[in-house]
Amino acid sequence: MYRAPVEDIAFTLKHVAGLKAALDTGALGDLTEDLVDAILSEAGRFATEEIAPLAKIGDEQGAVLKDAAVTMPAGWKELYKRWTEGGWNGLSAPEEYGGQGLPMMLGVAALEMWNSGSMAFAVGPTLTIGAVEAIEKHASDELKRTYLEKLVSGEWMGTMNLTEPQAGSDLAALRTRAEPTGDGSYRIFGQKIFITYGEHDFTDNIVHLVLARLPDAPAGTHGISLFLVPKFIPNEDGSPGARNDVFCASIEHKLGIHGSPTCTMIYGDGFAEGMEPGAVGWLVGEENRGLACMFTMMNNARLAIGMQGVAVAEAAFQKALAYANERRQGRASGWSGEGMAPIVHHPDVQRNLLTMKTLTQAARAISYACAHATDIARNSQGAESAHWQDRANLLTPIAKAFSTDIGVEVASLGVQVHGGMGFIEETGAAALYRDARIAPIYEGTNGIQAIDLVVRKLPLGGGEHVFGYIAELDEIANAVAVSNRSGFGRTALLLEQALDCLTNATRHLQSRLADGRTDAALAGATPYLRLFALTAGAAYLARGALADGGEERTALCRFFAENLLGETRALKDRVIGGAESLATAAKTLVHG
């Protein structure tokens, strides 16, 4: 059973991602280390003792749809109630609306633990938090007054409605339409698919944020507006009133996260006689600027999904490690006890477990560093704030894609460590393998993340921001080199080599983009993102080892450098030299 690794998380936040320095310099106001520790400890307790025990029943029962109403797994409604009563929903939300206004670093650390407890449970509140951000930043005061407090407290939940059958990654193709009624409200018509927590029994009301087109809106992404559509239209006193014309038509039968209802939502097509047709909604932000509003949610949502990758990897590692210490098979040179050796003594099992552990640590460090950048950007001004916002923007696609990719890899290795037992559902390793698979897909596929990194993030700061970041990683490599700590082995050298690869690959892609050879750059985007992440991850592991001084972190850093970092050279070669053969061979793929 999962136990929240509170100590490791706190260490990574403070000494790798920069929380300690931010606390010491007062960059985060009057937040104290004691408070940080107390919050992490309590969030960890909730994840370990309250959420994790209900993960299995969620997987087995799943969410069930009947007569347009979704019943959640047994005990989940009560779990959600305890979670909101603990104030967890508003952890990073504005104090003005009842939130705790704490840094995002704490938010993502807590989110990691809750997702390790159950991805299917934790993904729901993630969307509410996104809705709070979008409404707070873009909605009218009246909408804020009506909805924000209830969403911050968790009394109501929020959703994001982007995808339509013909429009997945390409939002320009959206067709859902919104017609103004003249009284300031709109009527929404259309179908949205893959709506996470679109319908459930956790709360009295559900607040949908919906992308739709106004009449005569321009084609493409510049003609999309954002609307707030509540399931029940609030009365004057704020209580849920008339049922709105938005209904859940079906829920998906999915590979994993069974407890999370994935809904097809129908707007404006199912209502009682005598009513005006259409779902009642209100504009959020300006007309035709819906995508900008949605991107507010999406950047943070992407980091949140990255945390799911870290979370499922941590859960898979813990489960495999426990099994490997218990299960006995054969003899091992490192085992002098009686009988068969616990399989953790076999080098091949050790390789799997260390790969799982260090990939998880690397992804965690990158994700927390991304949250740190957002926090500093929010808590600073002018050029400093802009610099850190660039940093957050640079790291977001990496945190999302790398963490969720390694989530799948680590969960798969976790099944493998269990041998035959891993394939049996009762063991629980298989459920993590199933759950993990959604995270590289939703909130922008990892291919989209890689394209975002190359096309939108490498040009930041006139193309120089990324090199400033690489220079910071280089300082870590230098610090390893001068540390003279023998436990690092060849870490400094290998990290320098990886940084050279990253530098060369970055220059190559920037020059491809400058030459207008976009396809050649896109062909290398995914290998580039992984190259970036492995290098940054190794540097962060080294920073932790340097800060810590203990043998354990040093040994894990060295394992990562000497066993996993070597892939960077091959990735660099793919980025620089792989595009032409890809384009040539791709001709074999096109039908007709």
| Catalytic site positions | 443
Indicate the residue among 42 and 252 with the shorter CB distance to its own copies.
252
| CB of 405 vs its own copies, minimal distance in Å | 9
Q: With CB under 8 A as the contact rule, which of the stretches 89-97, 126-134, 208-216, 561-569 interacts with its own copies?
A: 561-569
Residues numbered 96 to 135 that lie near its own copies (CB under 8 A) are: none
Residue 14 and residue 34: Cα distance in Å, rounded? 12
Position 424 contacts its own copies (CB under 8 A)? yes
Q: With CB under 8 A as the contact rule, which of the stretches 94-102, 138-146, 435-443, 471-479 interacts with its own copies?
A: 435-443
Residue from 380, 445, 503, 504 touching its own copies (CB under 8 A): that is 445
Indicate the residue among 58 and 103 with the shorter CB distance to its own copies.
58
Residue from 437, 508, 512, 530 touching its own copies (CB under 8 A): that is 437
Closest of 368, 413, 362 to residue 553, by C-alpha: 362
Instruction: Tell me phi and psi for residue 351, to 5 degrees.
Output: -60, -45
| CB of 425 vs its own copies, minimal distance in Å | 5
Position 493 contacts its own copies (CB under 8 A)? no
Residue 575 and residue 524: Cα distance in Å, rounded? 4
Indicate the residue among 280 and 579 with the shorter CB distance to its own copies.
579
* Gyration radius from the chain CA atoms: 24
| CB of 331 vs its own copies, minimal distance in Å | 8
Residue from 440, 458, 531, 535 touching its own copies (CB under 8 A): that is 440
340-362 b/e (C-beta count within 10 Å ≥ 16 → b): ebbbbbbeebbebbbbbbbbbbb
| CB of 543 vs its own copies, minimal distance in Å | 17
| CB of 496 vs its own copies, minimal distance in Å | 15
Residues in the chain: 592
Position 456 contacts its own copies (CB under 8 A)? no
Position 176 contacts its own copies (CB under 8 A)? no
Position 589 contacts its own copies (CB under 8 A)? yes
| CB of 387 vs its own copies, minimal distance in Å | 30
Position 569 contacts its own copies (CB under 8 A)? yes
Name residue, tokens 């001068």.
482
Q: Which helix (H) or strand (E) holds 247?
A: strand 246-251
- Pairing type for strands 157-161 and 206-212 reads parallel
Indicate the residue among 1 and 441 with the shorter CB distance to its own copies.
441
Residue 455 and residue 466: Cα distance in Å, rounded? 13
| CB of 44 vs its own copies, minimal distance in Å | 20
Residue from 161, 300, 412, 535 touching its own copies (CB under 8 A): that is 412
| CB of 249 vs its own copies, minimal distance in Å | 15
Looking at residue 241, what DSSP letter applies? E
Q: Which helix (H) or strand (E) holds 154?
A: none
| CB of 450 vs its own copies, minimal distance in Å | 7
CB proximity list for 219: less than 8 A, separation 6 or greater: 172
Closest of 95, 102, 93, 96 to residue 42, by C-alpha: 102
Indicate the residue among 74 and 255 with the shorter CB distance to its own copies.
255
Q: With CB under 8 A as the contact rule, which of the stretches 61-69, 81-89, 102-110, 441-449 interacts with its own copies?
A: 441-449
Indicate the residue among 155 and 252 with the shorter CB distance to its own copies.
252
Instruction: Tell me phi and psi for residue 264, to 5 degrees.
Output: -90, 120
Residue 203 and residue 191: Cα distance in Å, rounded? 23
Residues numbered 469 to 488 that lie near its own copies (CB under 8 A) are: 487
Answer for the pair 405, 436: CB distance below 8 angstroms, yes or no: no
- State whether residue 195 is helix, strand or coil: strand
Binding residues for its own copies, how many (CB under 8 A)?
102
Going from the C-alpha of 87 to that of each of 42, 43, 92, 98, 109, the distances in angstroms are 11, 10, 10, 9, 15
Residues numbered 502 to 541 that lie near its own copies (CB under 8 A) are: 518-519, 522-523, 525-526
Residues numbered 371 to 390 that lie near its own copies (CB under 8 A) are: none
Burial of 586 (0-12, 13-18, 19+ CB in 10 A): exposed
Position 489 contacts its own copies (CB under 8 A)? yes
Residues numbered 50 to 79 that lie near its own copies (CB under 8 A) are: none
Residue 506 and residue 195: Cα distance in Å, rounded? 36
CB proximity list for 236: less than 8 A, separation 6 or greater: none
Position 163 contacts its own copies (CB under 8 A)? yes
Residue from 156, 227, 433, 532 touching its own copies (CB under 8 A): that is 433
Angle at 204 between CA 141 and CA 62, to 5 degrees: 125
Q: With CB under 8 A as the contact rule, which of the stretches 23-31, 304-312, 353-361, 362-370 interacts with its own copies?
A: 353-361
Residues numbered 191 to 230 that lie near its own copies (CB under 8 A) are: 193-194
| CB of 45 vs its own copies, minimal distance in Å | 22
Residue from 172, 242, 471, 514 touching its own copies (CB under 8 A): that is 172
Position 573 contacts its own copies (CB under 8 A)? yes
Residues numbered 316 to 345 that lie near its own copies (CB under 8 A) are: 321, 324-325, 328-330, 333-334, 340, 342, 344-345
- State whether residue 136 is helix, strand or coil: helix
**DSSP string of 290-346?**
HHHHHHHHHHHHHHHHHHHHHHHHHHHHHHHHHHHHH-B-S--TT--SSSSPBGGGS
